[in-house]
Amino acid sequence: MKVTHSEIVISAVHPRQYPADALPEIALAGRSNVGKSSLINRMINRKNLARTSSKPGKTQTINFYRINQALMFADMPGYGFAKVSKSVRAEWGKMAETYFLKRETLRGIVHVIDLRHPPSKDDVAMYGWFKEHGLDVLIAATKADKVKRGQWPKHMKQVKEGLGMVPTDKLILFSSQTGQGKDELWSEIGRLTQASPSEELAETSPTQDHH
Ligand code: GTP
Ligand code: MG
């Protein structure tokens, strides 16, 4: 998709704060600091619309971004941040569960995983939970730029096996640094959000990304 317009709509905690427009929505889920916000910025060609940080636990709210008046991204707070208290973790669980199970416009989840490491216990539990609840989820294995090209197959296998993925499950190799995987992810998002896959969202961007 050629992104011509993107804006932050709201940082929400409670469902009554979720945007009321009925745009198809894609949620970004993943461990704290894995690169969810960076992935959004890369997808929409913005340096820092979705706030990123080297400190884990930056995003504590659900941040909604409207793209081309056609699509919504919901940037979920990261899970598995060791330093948070039990009560914060319980709050996170409630907020996430409410969102994933009640959000009517939700069409799919991009579950962001770090290509470098075996999936964490939380990654495995989260992925299992999405599948159990029949949610349409795909894996974006990010930070590919940090792994040598020759090692990609080995690391992809590690992610697939660690999560218990089956051959029909989708994994996209991604890097917010280089733009790798961006066109493929747009076409998957197009597939998830469009009734007819031939429509505009499914088109890949005409411009190549430069490093
Ligand atoms: P929370 O909001 O805390 O859950 O984190 P997040 O998942 O949104 O991560 P964020 O996008 O803020 O990125 C965390 C750190 O990883 C930042 O320092 C980013 O620059 C870095 N990062 C994210 N994606 C990539 C990538 O593809 N390659 C490299 N090399 N660094 C990345
Ligand atoms: Mg973030």
- What residues does each domain of the chain span? 6-194
Cα distance from N-terminal residue to C-terminal residue, the chain: 19
Atom of ligand 1 nearest to the CA of 41: 11
- What's the pLDDT tens digit per position in 29-84? 999 999 999 999 999 998 888 887 777 666 678 999 999 999 999 999 888 876 66
Residue 205 has pLDDT above 60, yes or no: no
The CATH architecture one would assign to domain 6-194 is: 3-Layer(aba) Sandwich (3.40)
Pocket test for ligand 1, best of 49, 52, 76 (most atoms within 8 A of CB): 52
Q: Which ligand is nearest to the CA of 116?
A: 1
Q: Which ligand is nearest to the CA of 58?
A: 1
Contacts of 164 (CB under 8 A, 6+ apart): 124, 127, 128
- The pTM is what? 0.90
The span from the CA of 202 to the CA of 70, in Å, is 12
The span from the CA of 104 to the CA of 125, in Å, is 23
- To which H or E segment does residue 70 belong? none
pLDDT at 56: 66
Which residue lies with its CA nearest to atom 23 of ligand 1?
Answer: 35
Q: Is 54 close to ligand 1, i.e. is its CB under 6 Å away?
A: yes
Tokens 């994933």 identify what position? 100
Nearest one of 202, 134, 124, 195 to 163, comparing CA atoms: 124
- What's the pLDDT tens digit per position in 74-90? 999 888 876 667 777 78
Q: Is 33 close to ligand 1, i.e. is its CB under 6 Å away?
A: yes
Contacts of 3 (CB under 8 A, 6+ apart): 43, 44, 45, 67, 68, 205
Query: Distances in Å between the alpha carbon of 208 and those of 49, 105, 175, 179, 202?
Result: 21, 31, 14, 9, 16
SS3 assignment, position 136: coil
The token pair at 142 is 């990010």
CB 68 within 8 A of CB 115: no
Atom of ligand 1 nearest to the CA of 34: 7
- What's the pLDDT tens digit per position in 118-153? 999 999 999 999 999 999 999 999 999 999 999 999
Which residue lies with its CA nearest to atom 17 of ligand 1?
Answer: 54
Q: Is 31 close to ligand 1, i.e. is its CB under 6 Å away?
A: no
Q: Is 108 close to ligand 1, i.e. is its CB under 6 Å away?
A: no
Q: Is 78 close to ligand 1, i.e. is its CB under 6 Å away?
A: yes
The token pair at 137 is 């989820």
pLDDT at 198: 46
pLDDT at 82: 63
Query: Distances in Å between the alpha carbon of 135 and those of 2, 4, 57, 132?
Result: 26, 29, 25, 8
Q: Which ligand is nearest to the CA of 56?
A: 1
The CA 140 to ligand 2 mean position distance, Å, reads 15
Atom of ligand 1 nearest to the CA of 30: 7
Return mean pLDDT, the chain. Answer: 89
